[in-house]
Structures are given as structure tokens and as C-alpha cells.
Amino acid sequence: MKTPFFLFVLFACFMSKAIAINPYSPDFSKPKPPARMKLVFSEEFNYTGTPDSAVWSYETGFKRNQELQWYQSDNAYCKNGCLVIEGRKENRPNPNYRVESSDWRASRKDIQYTSASIQTAGKKSWLFGRFEIRARIDTATGSWPAIWTLGSGREWPSCGEIDLMEFYRPEGIPTILSNVAWGTNVRYRAKWNSARKAIAPFIAKDKNWPRKFHVWRMDWTKEYIKLYIDDILLNTTSLSETINPDGSNPFLKPQYLLLNLALGSNGGDPSNSTSPIKYEVDYVRIYQQIQ
């Protein structure tokens, strides 16, 4: 007996609903490689405790951009299928404080905020592929979460930087940024290809957008870098343009991954935001072409 066509349609609809991913929860399904690609790295954070030390290490102290947070390992932990990074209000002496220091890292007498930054430097790096990171960001004032990569063995920015995601408040407007940076003739001054997308249109369509997980994606080939959120293209950079003054191209070499939550600076003043500010990463999945 042949099954009527409409039963197949009903079954297909049922199955699609059954496997639909809850946007408010971690995704425990198996990675699904795109066509002609294979999974080369997967961090699902499906364990409890500290991030896997075979993959991740920590930044410590005050690091960059005159941000408010002191980075420490205590603020990053894995629970319920996610990496959780917490930005906390704290108050304790700065161990690196020096009277009359001109270095902002040492001139601060106290630590007022803490957070975490984890990275794969020296442990894992990749050249080309599709990077997918599913995360939920806290859009509170003061929050500056990021998903980004850096090259090794050269000074910034000649090492190359790719920002799959930054969220902060340029001109006070809550905004998602997608950026690619490389070197110039001036030390520590980058050439940027940046794209900004205010989150207001997303929230206008879905008031619960900040409460949901979203997938930030990078497609990186020897020709281009394309950056997306939820399959919406935000930024395209041609690798024919990303040339350092010495003729080298940082994006033809491997990059390592960083996940961090900064506070203050470009993120705004966090003093009136509820503590802790939370940044949750569901997974990191990296695919590469099958040779």
C-alpha cells in the first residue's frame, strides 16, 4: 500500500518542529558539516568546570583599550552546555599599582571590575575554513563581548586581526561590529575594514533578540573573509587588499581564537548595570574543505 503524499508532508513538518533548535537554550545537536566540508575542531562546552586546558589559556590583568576589567580565570566556567564569562563588580587593590606611573595598567590603585578572556594561542590555530560560534550576548551598558582571531609571531596589527563579533556602543548606539585589520607604515596603527550594524532593527523585529543565542560565522578562503550573523552577511574583505607594508599577508597564515568580555571603554559605563554581566558561548565549530 502506498502512503499518501500528504502524510509525507505531515511527517516532514513534524520532524522539522521536533528538531528545531530552541533559541533560548544551548544546542546539543551534533555538528552538521556544510557540503564538501569536514569538521576539524569542535568545542561544545558540554562539561562542568573550567575550560579545557588542552585548548584554552587565560589572559590576566589589565590588557588593552584602557578597559575597566581585570582579567582572571575565576570569571570563566562551563555549566549547562555553555561557556559562561562573567563581568563582575569587585573592589580590591591592584597588585601592579605603582605611584606616579604613566602606564594606565599600573596607575590604577584599585581593581573595580573583573572578567575573563580565554584564547587558543600556542595550542590551536587554523588557516581558512568556516567558523561558527553560537553565543548569547548581554547588551547592558558597559558590556563589550567579542569573538576574534589574531595571528602569531608578529606585532599587532601586522599579525592580522579578525573580529567575528564585537558588541559595544559607538556614539552611544548599541551596535554589532565585524572587522578585519592589518598593518600600516605606522607602528600600532591598523588599516581597518569595519562594518557596523545597530541592533535596534533586530529588536524592532523581535523584542526578545537580546535573550536569544545567535550564530556568528566566518567564511575564510584564500580570496576573501566574509562575516555573518544568523546567515546575514555583515562584512566582506578581499585578501587582495590585506597587504602589510612589507608585502606579507597575515590572512594567508593561521590565526588563533579569543573569546572575551571587556567592560567599560567603548562599551560604556557599567556602573548602573546589574552585576554580573554575562556572556554565554554555546559552541565553537570549525569546518574546512575536504581535499
Is the model's pLDDT at 12 over the cut of 80? no
How many Å apart are CA 209 and CA 197, to the nearest integer?
A: 14
**118-134 confidence digits (pLDDT tens):** 999 999 999 999 999 99
The rounded distance, in Å, linking the Cα atoms of 87 and 267 is: 12
Q: Are 142 and 273 in contact (CB under 8 A)?
A: yes
Give yes or no for a cis peptide into 31 (omega within 30° of 0): no
Which residue, 232, 251, 230, 234, is CA-closest to 242? 251
CB-based contacts of 127: which residues, under 8 Å, 6+ apart? 252, 253, 254, 255
Identify the band that residue 234 occupies on the pLDDT scale cut at 50, 70 and 90. very high
What percent of the chain has pLDDT above 70? 93
Strand partners, 76: 85
Please report the pLDDT score of residue 2 as a whole number: 45
pLDDT at 7: 42
Residue of 94, 48, 36 lying closest to 70 (CA atoms): 94
Q: Tens of pLDDT along 196-218? A: 999 999 999 999 999 999 999 99
Among 121, 41, 31, CA closest to 288: 41
